[in-house]
Structures are given as structure tokens and as C-alpha cells.
Amino acid sequence: MSSDSLPPPPEDHIVLGCGSLGVDFLAAVASFPKPDDKIRSTSSLVQGGGNAANALTCAARLGLNPRLISKVANDARGRSMLDELEADGVDTSFLIVSEGGTSPFTYVIVDNETKTRTCIHSEGHPPLTPDELSQSSLLRSLDGARLVYFDGRMHNTALVVAEEAARKDIPMLVDAERKREGLDDLLKFVTYAICSAKFPQAWTEAPCVSSALVSMLLRLPNLKFVIVTLGEDGCIMLERSVDEPPDSEEIDAESLLQTLKERKDDNVALPTCIPSPVTKLTAKGIGAVSGRLLMGTAEKIPPAEIVDTTGAGDAFVGATLYAICADMPPEKMLPFASRVAALCCRGLGARTGLPHRTDPRLAPFLQ
């Protein structure tokens, strides 16, 4: 599809991200090696990585203008990362580049048999500290930003960015992959959260995921919605309602979620969204919140087309950043993000399969 046939990107298209950046050394193997094995790769790739950098690359290809706050060393890996980001349209002018030290990198083993990946990460040195980001640079990075995104890393610097973004009333999204140092402080500021499958229950100690989502909205009053991604099982979203539902009875969140699951059509290959009406959702022993549950299904990718799941979550985040800037309703946002994540899985590495805005497979969502 030509760019001329698409509507323009969102008018407010500047997104600031703060988080990880690195180099991925990827090796695909027939099956995961046993201890002391010597095996050959079926394919290999050296490519930029890091959650924040991957998500912003995705957002850039979709039509946003992302900026990244992170840190690399002035070494071969660091320079290659900057070149790659700039080639994709990510603004790297706010990155800190240290003359000494080393840039972060990750070894990724992709198992062709199980369609899984194993990551071995080496952090960069020295780490980013808040004092390396000057006040003038911070203010410039936020100038005109529609949205600020955090991947949960570099928490001290992220908190400084979040505090300034809050003063400017800029909405914020956090990718809560797992419990990390400083994440609790960051979550107090954010407007949107995207969580891994295990995070909501680990963070809230709730007995089930639906109760955990209710608990998150009760504990985080600034949160407008929370999404938990479930891989091939799709995703679940709890969206807060600003208005009390008219004359509605309280509904148990877990029972409502089971009702949504029963409405799923397993014969549909492309991602869909199954929403509930706005209601009063309760979780036993936790409380109640006005809102609605939405279940997003994952795309059914033919096994022969699945190459690598590395970066699928980052692709989902990047697409969500775009969807928020484009004011997509959740019913459209969840299938769109799932579609982008599924396309990512069709290439080796976190960025090879990331689609560009002109990809005809995205046309139904961008029209």
C-alpha cells in the first residue's frame, strides 16, 4: 500500500521513551543445546535490542516521532545502536554516550523446535544516573510530547522524568514486565500499564488475574487502563470508567472474564476484541471499580511462519503507543497491537519483522 492512500499519522506524534538499549546477538538452533554440547546455528543475526529501543523503533515505523533517553558507551556496539535507531527515525539526541565503559548486549538463543528464546543479558557500564540528564535536556525531551513511556529500567532517571512529565500533565505508560527496584514509585505516576502475564498477581498478591487488575486500578488512582499480555492466549484489559454505570449490579470480575472467554470464536485466525459493557466490577476481599473488561485474542500464526518471539511484547507496546496517540478505541487498539506483535514473530530478532506503516496487513487499522 502506498503512503498516499493512508491518512496522515496522528497530529500529536512525539513520544518520549526512557529505558533499555542494547545489542542482540541472536543464534537460531534446531533445538536448545544440552550442557557441554557443541552445535551449529541454523541462522544468526546481530541487531539492536532493548525493550525501550525496540518499542520506539516499532512506534517510529508506524509513524510516530520517538525520542529515547538511555545510555551507551562510545564503542563499536554503541555506535551501531545509534546508527540503527537513527535509520529508523528514532531521535537519539537525548542519549548519554560515555567515553569509557561498555555498551549493554544480550545473547539470544532461539529454539526452532519449541519456538522459544533464551536471553543472557550483560548490562552496560557505567550505568545511567539522573545527574547525567541535565534539566535543560530533560525539558527539551518533553517539549511537545504526547506520551511518555518507561520500560521499568533505569529507575532513578525514569523517576526524574516521570516527576517532570507529571508537572506538565503528560500521560505516561509503563511496561511492567516484572517487579523491579523503583517500579512502585514509577507506577504512582503512570496513566497506562502493560503487564506481563505474571506481574499483576505478583504485584498485588491477588488470587487470579481479574482480581489483580481490579486491585491495580484501586491502588493506582491515576491508571486509566491496564493490559496483561498472555502470549498465544491474547490479552486482557481493564479500562476504568470515569462515570458510574447507571443502575447496574455489581459483577464478579472473574465470572465476567469467563463469560467473555465463552464468546471467543476459535475459528477466527486474525485478532479480535470481545468487550464487556461498563459495569461495577468486584473482586472478593479487594473491592470494586467502575469499568469494563476487554479480552483481546491473539493472531493464529501458522507454525511454519513463526520464526522468533523475541521482541513480540515490545512490538505490542510500540503499537499501543501509536494507538493511544491516534485515539484508537480499545476495541481497535487491542487487535492492532496483537497484529503488530504477530508480524514481529515472523522475523528473526526483535526488529526484523516489525512492520512499517505502509504494510498492507495494517491497512484495516490505519484507515
Residue pLDDT tens, the chain, 367 long = 455 678 888 988 999 999 999 999 999 999 999 999 999 999 999 999 999 999 999 999 999 999 999 999 999 999 999 999 999 999 999 999 999 899 999 999 999 999 899 999 999 999 999 999 999 999 999 999 999 999 999 999 999 999 999 999 999 999 999 999 999 999 999 999 999 999 999 999 999 999 999 999 999 999 999 999 999 999 999 999 987 776 668 999 999 999 999 999 999 999 999 999 999 999 999 999 999 999 999 999 999 999 999 999 999 999 999 999 999 999 999 999 999 999 999 999 999 999 999 999 999 999 8
Three-class SS state of 209: helix
Pairing of strands 192-195, 43-49: unpaired
Q: What is the CATH number of domain 6-31+42-358?
A: 3.40.1190.20
Side-chain-side CA neighbours of residue 159 (13 Å): 12
pLDDT digits (tens, 9 = 90+) for 204-237: 999 999 999 999 999 999 999 999 999 999 999 9
CA distances from 289 to 211, 284, 293 (A): 11, 12, 11
Q: ∠192-196-198 over CA atoms, to 5°?
A: 125
Taking the C-alpha atoms of residue 216 and residue 225, their distance in angstroms, rounded to an integer, is: 9
Pairing of strands 105-111, 116-122: antiparallel
* Of residues 143, 27, 26, 21, the one with CA closest to residue 82: 21
CB 330 within 8 A of CB 137: no
DSSP state of 286: T
Positive/negative CA dihedral, 147, 220, 315, 141: positive
| pLDDT, position 4 | 60
Residue 354 to residue 198: CA distance in whole angstroms:
25
SS3 assignment, position 301? coil
pLDDT given at position 244: 76
What local confidence, expressed as pLDDT, does residue 132 receive? 96
Which of 49, 71, 182, 174 is closest to 121 using CA atoms? 49
Sheet holding 22-29, edge to edge: 43-49, 22-29, 105-111, 116-122
- Please give the Cα distance from 223 to 192 (Å, whole number): 6
Contact 196/177 with Cβ under 8 angstroms?
yes
The pLDDT value recorded for residue 6 is: 83
What does 223-242 look like in DSSP terms, one character per residue? -SEEEEE-GGG-EEEEEE-S
Quote the pTM value. Answer: 0.96
pLDDT > 90 in the chain, percent: 93
CA 127 to chain centre: 23
- Phi and psi for 179 in degrees, rounded to 5? -65, 125
Angle, CA of 240, 59 and 72, to the nearest 5°? 110
- Contacts by residues 32-37 (CB-CB < 8 Å, ≥ 24 positions apart): 32/109, 32/111, 32/113, 32/114, 32/116, 32/118, 33/109
**Interhelix angle for 135-142 vs 155-167, to 10°?**
60
* Torsion of the alpha carbons at 127, 76, 138 and 129, rounded to the nearest 10: 10
In this prediction, residue 243 carries a pLDDT of 78
Query: In terms of Cα–Cα distance, which of 366, 254, 259 is closest to 10?
Result: 366
